Amino acid sequence: MSKMIAYGAYFLIAAIVTYCVEFFLSYMISGILFYAADAPPGDISDTSKLLYSVGMPVIYAFVLFGLYYFYREILKSFSIHLMLSVGVLFHIIIAIYLIWSIIPDAF
């Protein structure tokens, strides 16, 4: 039962953080594109679009993976052992979701 609570708590925290990051990235990209429409030389480059729409979610997935590893180490002190593959799979799904939802805003 304690494993289910630990998985549930982590997934809830990761989902909330992921939603906030997606919200922030989509508004940041929209703001840059709005500013670019107002001042023509300030347009966002294709490299920046690629960085914001693909690079940031991939980097975020690695950061979230690191946090999962840290969370797993903390839970070991309470004799709760989580499977690493579940966290990796979850973070890959999060990265794909972020890329899928932000690319229409960037391009």
Q: pLDDT tens digits, the chain, 107 residues: what are they?
A: 788 888 888 878 777 877 887 788 777 777 776 666 566 655 667 777 777 777 877 788 777 878 888 888 888 888 888 777 776 777 778 778 777 876 776 66
- Asked if 43 and 36 count as a contact pair (C-beta separation under 8 A), the reply is yes
Give the model confidence (pLDDT) of 54-77 as tens digits: 787 778 877 787 888 888 888 888
Confidence at residue 20, expressed as pLDDT on a 0 to 100 scale = 81
- Quickly count: other Cβ atoms within 10 Å of residue 95's Cβ: 21
Confidence at residue 57, expressed as pLDDT on a 0 to 100 scale = 75
- Quickly count: other Cβ atoms within 10 Å of residue 31's Cβ: 10
CA distance 21 to 49: 16
What pTM, to 2 d.p., does this model score?
Answer: 0.61
Confidence at residue 24, expressed as pLDDT on a 0 to 100 scale = 80
